[in-house]
Chains A and B, each alone.
Chain A
Amino acid sequence: MPSRRDLLKATGGLVLATGGSWLASHAHGAVPNPPGLAPLPAGAVASGDLEALAGKLPLIKRSWRPPNYETPLSYFSEEITPNRAFFVRYHLAVIPEIAADKWSVTIGGDAAATPFELTLEQLKRDFPAIEVVAVNQCSGNRRGLFEPHVPGVEWGVGAMGNARWKGARLKDILAKAGLKKEALEIAFNGADGPVMPATPDFQKSIPVWKALDENTLVAYEMNGEPLPHWNGFPARIVVPGWTGTYWMKHVISISALSKPFDNFWVKSAYRIPIGKFPLIDHFGSQLTDANEPITEMVVNSLITNIEPGQQVPVGRPFEVKGIAWDGGRGIAGVDVSADGGRTWRSATLGADRGRFSFRSFSQSFTPTERGAMTVMARATNRAGSTQTMELILNPAGYHHNVVQRIAVNAA
């Protein structure tokens, strides 16, 4: 049921879309700060309205152009994120609508002996179809919760989603292109581009060993449906375990390179300081003395059913639920506390959909006396990495995996 505020907003939208100017009374701040973490910048809360792109449910708008929209918290109570609620992230504002029968992807580069071109039909027909459930998370997810704040798209917790991706293995496609032994990186370009010719086109590369991983796909389906336009129709790269920056949408070229790819988005952007994060994967051909490309996701969790200030009855159990994920080692366990981290209990884990997927967890507590309680959850992966209590600062605001602290009231 639309609330009065929704109606007000919709009415405002109607006036505006027919040529009116910005209304001062436009309803702001409908979306609260994510629970139990440092707050977003005030301006991000003020402009973070719920708005629906064509074919999408209302998502939290971070910017109109290029479109950046995050998934509201409520959708993370399920392990699979619905396509229509899946977050949207673009760097550049020229985004063509691609017709399936007009699309093709070229496979080439100086380290490919037999370049060729693939239509969507050929991509589906000529290679075994592989399915993998994997988290696609923006490198900058939770950037807006950095304290102190850092510039960029001020994401809350919803620049991520988990889907069942279906497509061809990139390694099978590269084999057909006659991948040479000197191949060092595989570069991708998508159909989207910049407004100004001088703006670097968004292109990315991954190390050849990651491209040859059996889980790395050129995907054409998401949760049993064609990819939504805003998530890369008709085909995108899927790099399970690694952050979304490598998951090129609307992919139109795949190039095997014998030298490190020289592009702003690889050389300068998406960099993390050396040695600050407990990560295993490194992008060896792109290291500098100071920094390296972001690679795998850090272990993380999100409590999905507890609101700050919530009342929990004394003497009756209440459940803490959420999801946990990492960069592909798999979740080993989630510890949950209701006393601010003094004592921890091992949560019950939900269905195992594979090591790249969200893993749900739950743990119940029974308050024994009235008063304030602090709910926390801390995931650990199979490599022994766990979430941090203190934010690991880095200039671009990546890898925020600070444990939430949500205050509730036993009454």
Chain B
Amino acid sequence: MKRLPLMLLLAAALAAGVVLAQERRLELKDGPGRDKVEANCASCHSLDYILGNSPFMNRGVWEAEVTKMIKAYGAPIADADAKEIADYLAKNYGQP
């Protein structure tokens, strides 16, 4: 019963060639720290913020972003996790 309206909605969207805006699971690049990124960053915002802001930031700029999330936006991220997150982002979504 629950599925029917969703399927109808999607069928209508399909017919119109429209992609409905709905957050999808974004498969981040595999690597150490990915779990920390998914567990922390995704609480407040979708992970496409990371993809959109790549690949132009170096380690220092990514670290500043993570610090901003903690200091300015109050993200409850442990120091060790913050370092791992910055490392992961710089390595996988940083300046090539």
Contacts and interface: CB of A to CB of B under 8 A. Distances in A.
Interface of A: 1-3, 6-7, 9-11, 13-14, 16-18, 21-22, 24, 41-44, 46-53, 56, 58-59, 61-67, 69, 93, 148-149, 151-154, 194-200, 264, 268
Chain B, interface SS category = loop
A77 B46 CA distance: 32
A42 B52 CA distance: 8
Given A7-B17, A151-B61, A198 B74 contact: yes
Contacts of A22: 24-27
Contacts of B48: 47, 61-64
A1 B16 CA distance: 8
A67 to B, nearest CB: 7
A148 B26 CA distance: 26
A48 B13 contact: no
Interface of B: 3, 6-7, 10, 13-14, 16-27, 43-46, 48-57, 61, 65, 72-76, 93
B74 A41 contact: no
Contacts of A152: 53
Nearest to B74: A198
Contacts of A13: 10, 13, 19-20, 22, 24
Contact of A10 (B3, B17, B21, B25): B17
B40 to A, nearest CB: 11
20 contacts: A10-B10, A14-B14, A16-B24, A18-B7, A41-B56, A42-B54, A48-B52, A56-B21, A63-B45, A64-B46, A66-B45, A67-B21, A93-B44, A93-B45, A151-B65, A153-B52, A196-B44, A196-B76, A199-B74, A200-B72
A61 B21 contact: yes
Contacts of B93: 43
A3 B76 CA distance: 45
B86 to A, nearest CB: 13
Given A22-B27, A153-B52, A198-B76, A63 B46 contact: yes
Contacts of B14: 7, 10-11, 14
A47 B17 contact: no
A62 B84 CA distance: 26
